Amino acid sequence: MGAPFASAVSSGTAGLHLALRAADVHGGDEVVTSPFSFVASANAALYERARPVFADIDRRTLNLDPQAAAAAVTERTRALLPVHIFGYPADMQAFERIAAERDLAIVEDACEALGARHADGPAVGARGHAAVFGFYANKQLTTGEGGMVTLGDEATKARIDSERNQGRAPDMDWLDHDRLGYNYRLSDIACAIGVAQLQRLDESLAARAQVAERYRQSLDGIEGLELPCADAGGDVRGWFVFVVQLPPGVDRDDTVRALAASGVQSKPYLPAIHLMSFYRERFGHREGEFPVCEDVAARSLALPFFPQLDEGQVARVCETLRATLGR
């Protein structure tokens, strides 16, 4: 990817936790992040007793909206945590400007974005901020469970390497520990699987992009159905899932049932984090706070998506969806 340093960890969640610790996020701090993400990106701040502060998302990319994020920054904000959701690059230039103006750290959640590239050149995860990738079974590259933090500087790597391994420094006597650490190591067996996966990564990413393109062509023209945004301005998505937004007013549960009855699996994906019961109860979040996120979360549906999905299977999914929506 071109990142000078990296640290393998036991999961994307573990990587986010260690990256926030390395950014000196402490109790009472705030971390501005996206409510349209997998819950782990917000939970990671809570592990350090910091508060995840949400801001609404951009309707096209579904990523954290930089303007909304800037408006959510307070004197307690310590870090920005943008998420490259569904593998589409977040607007890092904008977040870098906000971070420079307000003296904030940046931690990128790139768990879904292996293979993505920014319009201004670097691969997602190679801009010098800590960026966290996930290697769970559904990801572009998998080790079963696992993750990787890519980094721009050696001191941060040394800290993360130590904290993933119970707080040991590299030059220490056996079983001496000079800081608090965790067992967030990626196992050797998982690493071996990852190395083998890496050899197939380009092929697998290309196959995913081809499946996505077939979906795009076959679903074109269904009234009100929104497809994942096309690459624009030089940004390149690393294809992870194919999530459509159903036309407004369509009952999603009925759609899922009708697709299932025809043998097509689908899932609502993703729910808004701030409306999850734990977040409502802990922080008093309510409907209406982040209208774009809530609208997108209410209409999003993940369709079958994996590199081996062939042309006939894509056609069958699309015909079934078209017929279901046309009823």
Ligand X SMILES: Cc1ncc(COP(=O)(O)O)c(C=O)c1O
The correct pick among 82, 87, 134, 238 for binding ligand X (CB under 6 A) is 134
Scan residues 69-88 and list those touching ligand X (CB under 6 A): 83
Q: How far is the CB of 83 from ligand X (least distance, A)?
A: 5
When asked if residue 47 is in the footprint of ligand X (CB under 6 A), the reply is: no
Partners of residue 150 on adjacent β-strands: 6, 131
Smallest Cα–Cα separation from 155: which of 172, 130, 191? 130
Cis before residue 270, ω within 30 degrees of 0? Answer: yes
Q: What mask, x for binding ligand X by CB under 6 A, covers residues 143 to 172?
A: ----x-------------------------
Strands 51-54 and 130-134, how do they pair? unpaired
Q: How far is the CB of 299 from ligand X (least distance, A)?
A: 19
By the 8 A CB rule, do 134 and 111 touch?
A: yes
When asked if residue 12 is in the footprint of ligand X (CB under 6 A), the reply is: yes
The correct pick among 3, 8, 11, 293 for binding ligand X (CB under 6 A) is 11
The correct pick among 56, 91, 112, 294 for binding ligand X (CB under 6 A) is 112
The correct pick among 59, 70, 136, 276 for binding ligand X (CB under 6 A) is 136
Burial 36-58 (b: 16+ CB within 10 A, else e): bbbebbbbbbbbbebbbbbbbbb
When asked if residue 35 is in the footprint of ligand X (CB under 6 A), the reply is: no
The correct pick among 7, 41, 61, 266 for binding ligand X (CB under 6 A) is 41
- CA-CA-CA-CA torsion sign (278, 282, 285, 287): positive
User: How far, in Å, CA of 20 to CA of 163, rounded?
Assistant: 12
The first and second tokens of residue 109, run together, are 């959640």
User: How far, in Å, CA of 143 to CA of 314, rounded?
Assistant: 27
The correct pick among 7, 33, 37, 320 for binding ligand X (CB under 6 A) is 37
Scan residues 242-271 and list those touching ligand X (CB under 6 A): none
Residue count, binding to ligand X (CB under 6 A): 14
Which part of the chain contacts ligand X (CB under 6 A), choosing from 8-16, 73-81, 87-95, 260-268? 8-16
- CA distances (Å), 58 to each of 53, 87, 213, 290, 296, in order? 16, 15, 23, 11, 10
131/225 with CB nearer ligand X: 131
Which part of the chain contacts ligand X (CB under 6 A), choosing from 107-115, 171-179, 302-310, 317-325? 107-115
User: How far, in Å, CA of 26 to CA of 44, rounded?
Assistant: 12
Residues that bind ligand X (CB under 6 A): 11-13, 37-38, 40-41, 83, 109, 111-112, 134, 136, 147
